[in-house]
Amino acid sequence: MTSTFRRAHLLAVAVAAVVGTAIAAPTTASAAPQQDPMARSWEALPPPTAPQVPGYQITGYNVGKGNYRGAIDPQTGSLWLTNVSPLEGASESSILKVDPNTMRLLKRIRITRKADTGGHGTIAGAYEIGIPKTGDTLWTTGAPSNEVNVWNKNTGKLLKTFTGISHAHGIVFAEGIGVAIVTTARPGGLMFFDMRTLQPLGQAVIPGGGKQMGTGIAITDDTAAGATVTTPSYYTSLTQFRITRPGGAAVHASVRWNATLDDTQGHGSIAVDVRTNRVYVNDLYKGYVSVHNLRTGAHIANVLSGPGANSLLIFGGEVYVANYFGGYISVIDQRTLGVSRLLTTGLLPNQLLAWKRDTFLVIDKSSAALDGGYKLNRGTDRVWKVRSVG
C-alpha cells in the first residue's frame, strides 16, 4: 500500500465516520438464526439503508468482516467473498460463500496459515478472487504474501499454493485454452497456470522501461483459438496481449498494443465494452476514468468521476464507477462521456460486481470507518444490491 493511498484512505475514513450514521436505519431480521456465530452477529445488527435514487432500488445487507473482493460462481450463482481484517496489518482472513438472493452465509473457509507479508500483516490472506466456468476450483491471490492459492470450492481444501508470485493481483481464465492468468509485479505483467494440472506455464512482461505492476485485468475473445487480455500497470501503461496455446502445450503471448497512461500511479481497475470498442481505466488519486480504443489503445478522453475513482462496471450500457474516497458511484454515459447520475450506497465502495441483468452488487468496506477503524480488528461490512427499475 503506498503512502499516498494511506493518507487518502485515512481522510476517507474520517469523512465517512462523520456521515455514516445518516445512512443507517434499524429494521428487524425475521429469518432463522445462522449456525455460524459471526453470521449471527451480522444479522443481529440493523440492516443498513441508503438514499433511494429515481430509477433504482438500493438494498443493504450486513455481510462479512473486512470485505475485499467478490465473485459470482458461474455454475451455481453463489457469491464468494474474500475477507481480510484489519485492513492495515491483516491478522484474519476468510473466504465466504453467500446466497446472493438472501445474503445469508452458506460456507466459510477460514485461512489460518501465517505468511511473511513484508509488514502488511501476519496472515496469508485472500484478496482477489476468481471462479472458472468449469470444474470445482476457486482461485485467490495475495499481493502481500506474493501467492496464488487454488481451493476446492466444495470441500474448502487448499489444493495448491504458488509462491514467489510478486504482488499477485488480478485473476481471469482463458477457459478455451485452459489457462488461468494472474497479473504480477517485478517483472510487471502476466503469469500463466494450467487450470487442470495446476502447473505454471510461464509469463509475459509489460513492455517499456520503468516500474511496472500488473493490476486489474479484462478478458475478451476467449475461444479454443486463444484469448485477448488487457491490463493496466498501476503506474504508467495499458497493454493488450494476445494469448495462445498451440497444441495445448506452452503459452505464447504477444503484445497487440501498449499505451501510456497520464498519471504516474493509481491505475488498478479496468472495464471493457466490446460493443462500443472501449476500454476504461481508473485513476485513483486524480479521480478520473481514462477512456481508450479497445482495438488500438488510442486515448479518447479522461472523464472526471470523483475522489478515489476505483472499481469499474459496464451495466445497462453505461459505465459505473465506485469513488472509494468519496463514498458514491458515478454513472458515465458512453455516448457523451459525461457523468449522468450519482448514487450513494455504502461509505467505502470497493468493488462493483455484475450479478443479474438488472442488478449489480457493491462490495463495501464500511467497517473501516464505522466499526473499529483502519487498524482495529472488529466490525461488520456491507454488501448492497443496486437494481435498475427504470
Quote the cell numbers at residue 319: 459505465
Residue type, 264: T
Instruction: Give the CA dihedral 8, 10, 12, 14, nearest 10 degrees.
Output: -150
Of 286, 276, 387, 385, nearest to 332 by C-alpha is 276
The order of strands in the sheet holding 158-163 is: 128-130, 137-142, 147-152, 158-163
The CATH number that applies at residue 85 is 2.130.10.10
List the pLDDT tens digit at each of the 390 positions of the chain: 444 545 444 444 444 444 444 444 433 345 677 888 889 988 888 999 999 999 999 999 999 988 999 999 999 999 999 999 887 788 899 999 999 999 999 999 999 999 988 888 899 999 999 999 999 999 999 999 999 999 999 999 999 999 999 999 999 999 999 999 999 998 899 999 999 999 999 999 999 877 889 999 999 999 999 999 999 999 989 999 999 999 888 999 999 999 999 888 899 999 999 999 999 999 999 999 999 999 999 999 999 999 999 999 999 999 999 999 999 999 999 999 999 999 999 889 999 999 999 999 999 987 776 655 556 556 789 999 999 997
Domain assignment present for 31: no
Domain assignment present for 12: no
Which residues make Cβ contacts (< 8 Å) with residue 147, sequence separation at least 6? Answer: 115, 124, 141, 161, 162, 163, 165, 168
What confidence score (pLDDT) does residue 15 get?
Answer: 42
Domain assignment present for 362: no
Of 257, 284, 256, 255, nearest to 270 by C-alpha is 284
Domain assignment present for 381: no
Give me the domain span that covers residue 287. 64-328
Q: How many CB atoms lie within 10 A of CB 7?
A: 10
Q: What is the DSSP string of 175-225?
A: TTTTEEEEEEBTTTEEEEEETTT--EEEEEE--SSS--BB---EEEEEETT
What confidence score (pLDDT) does residue 313 get?
Answer: 99
Output the pTM of the full model. 0.91
What confidence score (pLDDT) does residue 375 get?
Answer: 61
Domain assignment present for 17: no
Total domains present in the chain:
1
Domain assignment present for 334: no
What percent of the chain is helix, strand and coil (3-state, nearest 5)?
A: 10, 50, 45
Eight-class DSSP state of 286? T
What confidence score (pLDDT) does residue 223 get?
Answer: 97
Quote the cell numbers at residue 380: 461488520
**Is residue 311 within 8 Å of 267, Cβ to Cβ?**
no
Domain assignment present for 106: yes
Q: How many CB atoms lie within 10 A of CB 14?
A: 12
Q: Which SS3 state, helix, strand or coil, does residue 42 take?
A: helix
Residue with cell 451495466: 315
What confidence score (pLDDT) does residue 263 get?
Answer: 81
Q: Give phi and psi for 281, each to the nearest 5.
A: -130, 135
> Taking the CA atoms of the chain, what radius of gyration do you get in angstroms?
20
Domain assignment present for 207: yes
Separation CA 190–CA 182 (nearest Å): 6
What confidence score (pLDDT) does residue 346 get?
Answer: 83
